[in-house]
Chains A and B, each alone.
Chain A
Amino acid sequence: MRERYLLRGNEAIAESAIRAGCQCYFAYPITPQGELVEHMAHNMPRLGRTFIQAESEVAAINMVYGAAAAGVRTMTSSSSPGISLKQEGISYLAGANLPAVIVNVVRGGPGLGNIAPSQCDYFQAVKGGGHGDYHMIVLGPSTVPEAGELTMLAFDLADRYRTPVMILADGLLGQMMEPVELPAPIDMASLPAKEWAATGARGREPNIILSFDLSPDNLKKMNLALQAKYAEIRKNEVRYEEAETEDADIVIVAYGSTARIAKTVVRMARAEGIRLGLFRPITLWPYPYEPLRALADRVDTVLTVEMSAGQMWEDVRLAVAERANTPFYGEMGGIVPTPKEILTEVRKHAR
């Protein structure tokens, strides 16, 4: 067994990014992801890599744009208000087909909100927070080890599809500690060369990286190419987990921190005879509509639990349609629902 380290979610993400070969990291400090920035500030220069505390979130994401264009693995991280500022850059990354990893350790909103855990940035992450017809891959880790694993995966997916990938965590996952088996650093030499990158036009025609075409016909073509890429991602990259769903009458749909709390609820409900299961989307975009739809055919109730007013609930209802009841239970303002509170809600829908 590999050595286990007791790490915060923020640290697991940072260390995994380093092991995934992140060469350049740019960020502006914000709670509750300060440990991520600090881990990178401490370690990146020692490895001969780039850490810049940027003057703003806007600058940080544009530094990412520059580093991604040069063909290196690059990342930025922030929390909700900072991620709002990054939306311009994310849209440009998507438009210019540049690979990058963006971490959002979500906190309560809107506005300045607070620094407590929340899942209120779901819409912004999965429906396109910036301008234009684009998506990014959105991964929702539920435990600290998974936050590390999905960070490694995020860099691979970003490179494979030349797209921004977001890790959508939250303050609870960022702050809590859990044992993590860290993966071995990847062999950078094994990665495919990025022929498209701006590395100097030596013995080839210039590479031009842009998200721009004044001709509507050409811009339409650019958009169609993006959509074809998204179709490919939808086909290949849907990830989810089902727990105790085989005989379930009710399933909770939850992602991230809420999903791990729901796992405890499943145990509690089963102990009192309620056949409760859990459906946990891991990719929030692309959303696992089909598997959730198939599950909805077998159960009476699909209960969405979120730390928001019901953002993912919209996708659940899109998937389930009229196949089952689709009640919602949520908390806002940085309040984390406890297992008991969720169980009380489950009981209301039990046979």
Chain B
Amino acid sequence: MVPAVTALARLLRTTAFKLSLLYLAVFTGLSGFLFVSISRNTDTLMTEQVVQTVDAEIEGLADQYARGGARALVAAIDSRARRPDASLYLFVDFAGNVLAGNISRLPTTVLEEADGGVRRVKYGRGDGETEREAVVRTFEVPGGFRLLVGRDLGEQTRFRDILAGALRVWLVVVVVLALVTWAFVSRRVLKRIDAIAASSRQIMDGNLSQRLPLAGNGDEFDRLAISLNAMLERIEQLMQNLRDVTDNIAHDLKTPLTRLRTRLETTLNEARGEADLREAMEATIEDSEGLIRIFDALLQIARVEAMSPDGGLQPVDVAAIAEELADLYAPVLEDEGGSLKLDLLPVQTALGNRELIAQAMVNLIENALKYARSKNGQPLAITVMVRQEKDRILLSVADNGPGIEVKDRDRVLDRFVRLEQSRTEPGYGLGLSLVRAIARLHGGTLTLEDARPGLKAQIDLMVAPAAKAGGEEIDGTDRS
């Protein structure tokens, strides 16, 4: 019983039920309005017809009176009153004695107000039959006589009864139809919604690869499910990224943390003096700083990946950044006999984040400083290049070092990937990951190419929408 009640309560709460109720109310209201308006109009029309008939009778009787006086009138009324139709007559003298007619009961006031006006009255035909309704006209006839001519409204009442009966049937049909619609709609809608709810519950329970069901007919539920599925796809991908990063962090932080802990333990057990302790502590601080750097770098990559290019990108002069950074790093290379050259062509203003573009360029320059020194003692030469190709601004850093083999070029962009030959250099394998994230934020990519010899790393940025183009657009709208 209880489940049945809750199921009913659930049905009553549905939108389908509320909608059906609304339809029902609207249809009922509309039918009521239609009925009232039809019955009113027909009533008026029929009353007019009745009055016309009454007027024709009166004309005929007036003729009789003109020809033969009151006596002829009484004879005419007597003959007409015997006809079995809806016409009503009553002819009385000054004392109210009935001289002719087919009405036995009538409100007395009707005969007193003999002004010829049209009235609706209740009357009886005698034989104790029930009161009926009629339209009548009453006149004074010279000699103290009064004449009433009228017509029974039985037909009209019958017509109204038929209409009322039709309305009742119609109402039942409307209610039944509403119930059927409700049952159909709610069954269909509830089925779809229950399916979606069941799938989302599974997804919430942790089955992130589950998707919402599609009926395949492209209706509004399908469109909703398609959007939600796209959202789930993105969430799953982000979760996967997050899981990868967490795994990598766990892996790469555990090694230095274990080393740090082992050193502290060993020192605690074996240290023979202050010098030993001091040395261990300095090494520990150094290690912890390395850990912090890894954390910072990972956080920054995550932040950049989560940033939206819609907000926060501003017009940036890429060539100016290249000049400033070349000015910063050139002395480092010159001191060891190498060189840092700038190769700039005039480019448009880029749309980007100045700090992040600088960070990307710094990572590429520092990578070259770390990994591109060749073993044969040839001086390191770095070239920073800025170019424009259509609406992309290309920013590249090339070196003359050993380069990266084709098979490693994709891999080296991932987090924590360090090539074997570079393991001896300090670093965490996060620099290029950050550069790639920054390039992606700017709608671009990071590509690694062979600089023959050496490596050329390039990112591309979008051109800032020029103020001039905007002005032309505004001019255009003004003219139109």
Tell whether A pairs with B. Answer: no
Residues of A within 8 A of B (CB): none
Footprint of A on B, CB under 8 Å? Answer: none
